[in-house]
A and B are shown apart, each in its own frame.
Chain A
Amino acid sequence: MKTCVIETEKICKSFVSDGEVNNVIKNLDMKLYQEDFTVIMGSSGSGKSTLLYLLSGMDKVTSGKVYLKEQEITGLKESAMADIRKDSIGFVFQNMNLIPDLTLLENVLSPSYQSKIKKEEKKKRAEMLIEKMELSAHKNKFPNQLSGGQKQRTAICRALMNQPEVLFADEPTGALNSNAGKGVLDTFTKLHEDGQSIVMVTHDLKAAVRGSRVIFLRDGRIDGELEQGSFRQKEEEARERMLYEFLKERNW
């Protein structure tokens, strides 16, 4: 039996613009499990990013509840939400969102500012992550001196710095060329193998096959789900075909 890390209860998200209400997420119930690599797919505008922000506590729901390890996080105060983002969540954006004034190393260190660990320990951990992502040579560079792939890997280091419960990623390969994209995906696969819970949004088939579970989103509702087990390199083509079938049934 898998443990549930995140659970939602009838969450809705609406935006109001020009007086018109746009219901993006509609009464959505879902469970995310520990050590799963969950992939959320869906056509553009189906609400994937919106959902990810709700799950990760970046944005507030319009109604409904979100639980993180059985603790309700909807309705928490702004500072408590900030703590959750800091301690339990790691987030990787499509456009990296590194802090331009900070060096690579500082960017990675930045989420650990309040943790009780000693300074040396923090630095050790950051350097270990940087080493793992093969970025050591660049650690004193600023983001505008890094390539896209390097930036995205830095962003992943930063997201992992506080050993989050769940690592979220919104189209992490979207802005990268295929080579750099593959590097980032390999990193995710490795993290998954090491037991990290991951939730990733993508509309890229190559990225989606890496997940152990695929959820398809349409019009703010879940429209099908595929369990495909952990990724193995030699099964890649077979998985791709299976996923393709799954998506075709849903007019991908």
Chain B
Amino acid sequence: MWFKKIRKKKIQSIFIVLILMVCSMLMTSSFVIITAGDTPYKELSGECRSPIVKIYPFQSNDPAIAEQIKENMEKLDMVEHVEVIPYHYMLERIQIDGKGSMEGYFFDLMPWNDKTYGSIRILEGSRELKEGQCLISAVLSNSEEIRLGDTLNMENGISYQVTGIYTDPYNMNLSFDSEIIVKENPRSEDLKYQVHVFAKEGSSGNEVIDAYREQNDGILEGRAITLEARIQNNQITERIIGGILLGISVVILLISGIMIRYMIKSTLASEKKTIAIYKMLGYKNGRIISIYLKFYGFLVVMGTVLGSCLSKMISDSFTKNTFRNMGVTSSSSIVSAGILCSGIIIAYAMICVYLLLRVVGNIRPMEVFRNEAAYSGKKQRNAGKVLGFSPIHMAMRMIFRDKKNTCMLVITCIMAAYCVNFAATAMGLLGTFEESNYYWLGFDKHDVSFSSTDLKTYEKTVEKLQKEEEVEKVIKTTTRVAVSVPWVKGMGDTILSVMVYDTYENLDMPVIQGRNPAHSDEIAMGSLMAEKMNKQVGDYVDIYLNGNQKVTLLLCGTYQSFYDMGKSCRLLGKTLEEKDVSFQYEEASVYLKEGIEPEEFLKDHEKEYESDGKLIDRAEKYANILDMITGPQMLAIRPFMIMAILLGALNIIAIVYLKNMDNRKTQSIYKAIGYSSGHLLKTNITYVFLIALFSLSITIPIFIVAFPKTMVLALSMMGFREYPVSYDITVVIISNLGTLAVYLLSVLFASKSLYDNPISELTSE
């Protein structure tokens, strides 16, 4: 019996199925996006048997220190094996045959080591290495399109042919050092040392590090990168984006619940007579409710399950790259997320349905049959002013005399408009990230960046740069200094990334609180780190320079940064000098005179400086780190935006369509007394237009206030406290006009029935 209803209520059934489908699509895919990496990462690290910790000693070129760390490590119970690996940190450029040079990456040239690399996953080629051959990571191969057989030419004249493409948990992300594996180190001078620690089954990297520090007075003279931290970093963008999307999809689900309630309500109203007849025939309430319950249950389950299955489309486009870099061919499994989300949505929708169906009990057959007065059961209403019959007046009447419907439409419009504005603004913002990378990464707004490849000539080169007529000033900087904070048990890694500047005076280098260091006893810290250490601007903080030299500095400011997830600090060069910490500037921020474009400057001078280092446009310099942040967001926001608009349009079509159905008779009466279809269509359009206009005028201010807050919330785990948004007026206007257009098109679509012959409606019972 319930099955027959589907044919009779085709349109309504389709709407319910579609709306729930999109909901479950959004929800399932955001769940999948959050969790997709878990299993493959676990499998990958299980397979690769990579070290649980890699330690980069502060005195990186002193093998004795590495050996010392190894010795101490080996004393720990949970440690099974330790390797010290000499490697070559590449300052040289790498040229690829026929493809130009690779910019913006950090490479470690690693000699083959059975323990570390013996089980890495080989995606192409073989793991056997001969002299002159190398293995590169899949992520590098994929993003630079390096294939088997390509040759990497180092600046020092040595070249390697790519004979294998591998993947392991430490090499999934180009914003960290990328390991190029070769048979042996090319030269014995100029080597650095890493310590790779392998733990016994069941110990985590953090436990190993904590145990080490406990045994060694809290001191570990190097930077420790644990396997779990690396995996977590690889997944962080997924988690953030998935979280935002999940939030949106929950809101959408709640609103769709209202939509569905509304649809069912209108069905029940129109079926009161049928229900009354059933009751007269002696059907019990429970029986009648179960008929409807089965009908709606079928639709709900169908839409939800269908959506879960289709969610693969969204989540796949999102996880595709990660999976490709892992060499996982089968895409993410949606089964468990699908079951979970379907369960939630079905439960929610069915509760909505059930609560509504209880009114069946209140239908009294005799009242329904006796007259229409009881049938409509409407409360005494206030007529208010007598309005005219122009489309505007009729639309106003629809708005004010059917307030419930108006509210529904307004809520739906607001929801859809919010999503559209969110997506459009986010996309626009992501587009500006490159230009404003200094803000997001927390360094200064210079024009061109210089990195030395020959530290002996650094000072001279900077002097030369300073004398160029296009150059206004040059600030010497470096990030290659080890700074750590005092260790507390359970803390894991104590290392801070550091930016050491010659001066911070007159630099555009944003802070949230306070200011950048101006005196040698000052430090500025990422707000996340400052909070972790419970320090505020004006407090003193203890830090270690180069691992063991404790200094106390005044916290003069806090700032936010994506750089190293906010675990960073800013120091002045003279602070290090005063404390006799050996360090060397190796980079420089070059400021050009007004009106001089970086490209021009680069074109004229790039060659000139080639032997001393790289000159690079600031926008390009951190392109990879930014890509890691913005790339997946771009990927996810686009389909989401489409879904959100679709759902909004769907809801609007459903409401207007149902309203037309409800009002079919009224419309027919209007036509019978001489109103043209055009007039009625104009009325519908005006109605939705007024509502949409009202909704947009509410949404836009709310959005402008809420958007930065949402983003700060989402990014707070990286220590973000501010999210400056410059709204691009054209984007705002275009996206909102677009939304409006979609609404009006939906009206046209839903109003097709206006052109039907009126008579059939008026005579039918």
**Residues of A participating in the B interface, judged by any CB pair closer than 8 Å:** 49, 53, 58-60, 78-79, 82-87, 89, 91, 93, 95, 97-103, 105-106, 109-113, 119, 123, 140-145, 148, 158-159, 162
B375: nearest chain-A partner, CB-CB: A144
Residues in chain B near residue A142, CB distance under 8 A:
378, 381, 383
**Whole-angstrom distance between the Cβ of B391 and the nearest chain A Cβ:** 10
Q: Are A110 and B672 in contact (CB under 8 A)?
A: no
Q: Among the listed A91, A105, A113, A144, which residue makes an inter-chain contact with B373, where contact means beta carbons less than 8 Å apart?
A: A144
Q: How many residues of B contact A (CB 8 A)?
A: 36
Q: Among the listed B381, B398, B675, which residue makes an inter-chain contact with A113, where contact means beta carbons less than 8 Å apart?
A: B675
Q: Within residues 671 to 713 of chain B, which ones have a CB less than 8 A from any CB in chain A?
A: 671-678
Q: Are B373 and A101 in contact (CB under 8 A)?
A: no
Residue-by-residue, is B381-394 near A (CB-CB < 8 Å gives 1, otherwise 0)?
A: 10100111110000
Q: Are A83 and B674 in contact (CB under 8 A)?
A: yes
CA distance A79 to B677 in the complex (A): 8
User: Given contacts A101-B397, A148-B371, are A158 and B762 in contact (CB under 8 A)?
Assistant: no
CA distance A60 to B759 in the complex (A): 10
21 cross-chain CB contacts under 8 A: A58-B758, A60-B757, A79-B678, A82-B674, A82-B675, A84-B674, A85-B672, A85-B673, A85-B674, A86-B673, A93-B672, A93-B762, A97-B668, A106-B386, A106-B387, A110-B670, A119-B388, A123-B386, A141-B383, A144-B373, A158-B673
B760: nearest chain-A partner, CB-CB: A59
Q: Are A82 and B389 in contact (CB under 8 A)?
A: no
Extra contacts, 11 of them, besides A91-B672, A158-B673 (Cβ < 8 A), are: A58-B672, A83-B674, A86-B674, A95-B762, A97-B669, A113-B388, A113-B389, A113-B675, A141-B383, A143-B372, A148-B371
Q: Are A101 and B398 in contact (CB under 8 A)?
A: yes
CA distance A159 to B401 in the complex (A): 24
CB of B666 within 8 Å of the partner chain: yes
B762: nearest chain-A partner, CB-CB: A97
Q: Are A87 and B386 in contact (CB under 8 A)?
A: no
A89: nearest chain-B partner, CB-CB: B674
CB of B506 within 8 Å of the partner chain: no
Q: Could you say which of B373, B390, B397 has the most chain A C-beta atoms within 10 Å of its C-beta? A: B373
**Residues of B participating in the A interface, judged by any CB pair closer than 8 Å:** 371-373, 376, 378, 380-381, 383, 386-390, 397-398, 401-402, 665-666, 668-678, 755, 757-759, 762-763
Residues in chain A near residue B758, CB distance under 8 A:
58
Top-6 shortest CB links A-B: A86-B674, A113-B389, A85-B674, A82-B676, A111-B673, A103-B383
Q: Are B373 and A99 in contact (CB under 8 A)?
A: no
User: Given contacts A53-B759, A100-B376, A140-B383, are A87 and B674 in contact (CB under 8 A)?
Assistant: yes
Residues in chain B near residue A140, CB distance under 8 A:
383
Residues in chain B near residue A100, CB distance under 8 A:
376, 666
Residues in chain B near residue A144, CB distance under 8 A:
372-373, 376, 378
Residues in chain B near residue A102, CB distance under 8 A:
397
Q: Are A99 and B398 in contact (CB under 8 A)?
A: no
Q: Among the listed B380, B390, B398, B676, which residue makes an inter-chain contact with A79, where contact means beta carbons less than 8 Å apart?
A: B676
Residues in chain A near residue B673, CB distance under 8 A:
85-86, 91, 110-111, 158-159
**Whole-angstrom distance between the Cβ of B272 and the nearest chain A Cβ:** 14
CA distance A159 to B672 in the complex (A): 10
Q: Among the listed A93, A109, A113, A148, which residue makes an inter-chain contact with B390, where contact means beta carbons less than 8 Å apart?
A: A113
CA distance A70 to B671 in the complex (A): 24
Q: Are A78 and B677 in contact (CB under 8 A)?
A: yes
Residues in chain A near residue B378, CB distance under 8 A:
142, 144
**Whole-angstrom distance between the Cβ of B399 and the nearest chain A Cβ:** 11
Residues in chain B near residue A78, CB distance under 8 A:
676-677, 755
A103: nearest chain-B partner, CB-CB: B383
Q: Are B666 and A101 in contact (CB under 8 A)?
A: yes
Residues in chain A near residue B757, CB distance under 8 A:
59-60
A146: nearest chain-B partner, CB-CB: B373
Residues in chain A near residue B669, CB distance under 8 A:
97-99
CA distance A97 to B672 in the complex (A): 10
Q: Are B401 and A101 in contact (CB under 8 A)?
A: yes
B764: nearest chain-A partner, CB-CB: A95
B377: nearest chain-A partner, CB-CB: A144
Q: Are B380 and A145 in contact (CB under 8 A)?
A: yes
A123: nearest chain-B partner, CB-CB: B386
CA distance A26 to B537 in the complex (A): 97
Residues in chain A near residue B398, CB distance under 8 A:
101
Residues in chain A near residue B388, CB distance under 8 A:
113, 119
**Whole-angstrom distance between the Cβ of A22 and the nearest chain B Cβ:** 14
**Whole-angstrom distance between the Cβ of B762 and the nearest chain A Cβ:** 6
Q: Are B665 and A97 in contact (CB under 8 A)?
A: yes
Q: Among the listed B380, B386, B670, B675, which residue makes an inter-chain contact with A103, where contact means beta carbons less than 8 Å apart?
A: B386
Residues in chain A near residue B666, CB distance under 8 A:
99-101
**Whole-angstrom distance between the Cβ of B397 and the nearest chain A Cβ:** 6
A143: nearest chain-B partner, CB-CB: B372
**Whole-angstrom distance between the Cβ of B307 and the nearest chain A Cβ:** 36
CA distance A100 to B762 in the complex (A): 14
Residues in chain A near residue B383, CB distance under 8 A:
103, 106, 140-142
Q: Are B672 and A145 in contact (CB under 8 A)?
A: no
Residues in chain B near residue A97, CB distance under 8 A:
665, 668-669, 672, 762
**Whole-angstrom distance between the Cβ of A19 and the nearest chain B Cβ:** 19
Q: Are B759 and A59 in contact (CB under 8 A)?
A: yes
Q: Are A110 and B389 in contact (CB under 8 A)?
A: yes
